[in-house]
Structure 1
Amino acid sequence: MSVFSEYKDCIEEGDLVLVWISRDNIKPIRVDSNEIFNTRYGSFPHKMMIGQRYGSQIAIRTKGANKFAFIHVLQPTPELWTLSLPHRTQIVYTPDSSYIMERLNCNPRTRAVEAGTGSGSFSHAFARSVGHLYSYEFHGPRYEEALKEFREHGLVDADKNVTITHRDVCRDGFRIRREDVTSHQFGEDEGEVAIGANVVFLDLPAPWDAIPHLEEVICSDEKVGLCCFSPCIEQVDKTIEALNKHGWSDLQMVEIQAKQFESRRQMVRTVDDAIERLRDVKRRKSEGLERRKRMCESLVSDQPEADETEEKRPVTEKTKFNPFGKGARVKEGDANYKWKEVTKVEPEIKSHTSYLTFAFKVANKSRDEEAVQKILESTESK
């Protein structure tokens, strides 16, 4: 059973559980009643999790203080797995993978080709949504890690919908022979696996070398969609040249540049505020010059500065609110001041930027005249 597509209510021994420690810290564990999950906040025995409903909060009392530490135990989903998986390569995040699958019209009838597998983030999303996924990885250690991971998650069992192959598709193409993949999925018979893909996703350094080989595996009777994931525009340029050369059409490139927008309130500043600010700057400058002049005179005369007789500016002037400079803090939205709604962007982008190149192709453009005639006859009879 795949833990990512079939759901259950309660945690059992041996289950894969995602432990939510904080928003940016989610850890996958395999529940073992003899193990303990250690965090900076405390230690949580696995046996406390067994029998609990997924989504439950588990709390313990910390030592030496009357305080509690807690975690949440969650059932794995492709979205949560993307946040917690071990990174072997740069990954495709959920907003990007969901957008790609929507553009390529993925559904339970889809037969998808993915090259390369990488950390398996997009593979898990594909596995939940498509009919069958053929994933290719050229790097040996990454392939072994991905295969082990997919087996643990129940994605490559005999009745499941993921096939992973160790191959450099840019050099050797996409054809799969039964002996190229694990025997538990296709049996021991020799021969070629019929792929007939209608969706292709290429996350490769040189996708233009893989595009000519796609003719071997794409479906000839359906419209086939393709997406290339590239980190730089030079790769996009060479990819488009290869797509045009091999008959792909409806080309479109989308730039990924994730930004977080937030709604804030900004104080309305008037001309009078600006004038007052300039007067304040001029007054402070004049006072500073006068003070430095008195200090120089006191050093020449070897007499201490008479601070007691000096007229001091009231302390309240230093802490008075100044909308253009330093001063007392005012809480955002304070009713004593006038505010306007503004939108601010986070200063740093927290996800990678890249380019998605979409293209489509119909390999067989000949019409089935018999089928067309039947459709016309049925329409006329109505």
Structure 2
Amino acid sequence: MDFSLTDEQRMLADTLERLIADRVAPDQRRAMLEAPANERSALWRTFAELGLLHLPFAEEVGGLGGDGTDLMLIMRALGRGLVPDPYLAGLVLPGDLLARLGDAGQQARWLAPLLEGEHQLALAWQERDARYDAHGIVTTARRDEDGWRLNGGKQLVLNATSAAALLVTARHDDGRLGLFVVPADATGLTRRDYRTIDDQTASDMTLDAVSLSDDACLSRDAAQTLDATLALGRAALCAEAVGAMEVACEQTLDYLKERRQFGKPLSSFQSLQHRMVDMHLHLEQARSMAILAATSLDCPAAERDYRLAAAKAYCGEAARFVAEQAIQLHGGMGMTDECHVSHYAKHLVMFDHYLGDSDHHLEHVSDHLVDVM
């Protein structure tokens, strides 16, 4: 099968790589991380001007009709630059749900400004007892006069601190899974904000009798759509991890060539050469799995979820391996904040936990192995 890129896709990849290399040097990245939560970065505004915020969405909702491969190229470039802007958490995941489920009024209110870069959103779906199970939701949604009342809690809500609104999953009385748009300043919504080890902004939230209007409900039966959106997110994460692994391998090899011991560069020692080969083998296999993930999004649901679980499980294991080897081959300095590879390593370790870790997805692969054969 031919996986070569079109001329337009190669131009997209080259443009993004140059742009990010120019805008997200280590000192610039630190300034972006320390900026106020409600302030859009100059890079995000540039993304809006170039149409990169529109690209992953269908033309029918104001997008540019990009496919899984286009998203893979964007996320790989973001991973290479370790870009802190929440392209996946603040744009792709909530935007995809709005594009699939929102009516014209809801899309005009929330999706159109999102694509123009005027605000960001967040998806709140994970809960303490449900872990990575999108169907184990216990947050409740009950009718309240002419609206809704939500009660429950969410964990690890990425980008909640910068979001104008949150898309929240909640269980109806009849057992179906609903999806609601909750303004960030809604009464009864409280957050505990923190940063993950790779500097992502995240929040744990409590919803205590949050009152919403009737049109805040995007769907009363969103389970299948949520599965499709999370599959898209997992494909995007695999591509982002590949980009980060590429740079971790490059920086480690450069270090081994520069660092000398016993009068020779470290790269001349055969044992270290073998470890670099192992890192590249994991990288190349992860790249293949990321391509599989990006090209499987239009498959039937069962086959799509099986392929995405396999890809996410392998990329998670490969990301941890590359991170650990990069740190060990750099020695003690690899753990310091001044050594940029340490930031890639932390991001690669955390990648495995976003949208389901390797154990979770391997269990899915094991449970459904017979079904897809």
Q: With structure 2 as the length reference, what TM-score do the two structures score?
A: 0.22
- Structure ranking higher in strand proportion: 1
- Structure ranking higher in helix proportion: 2
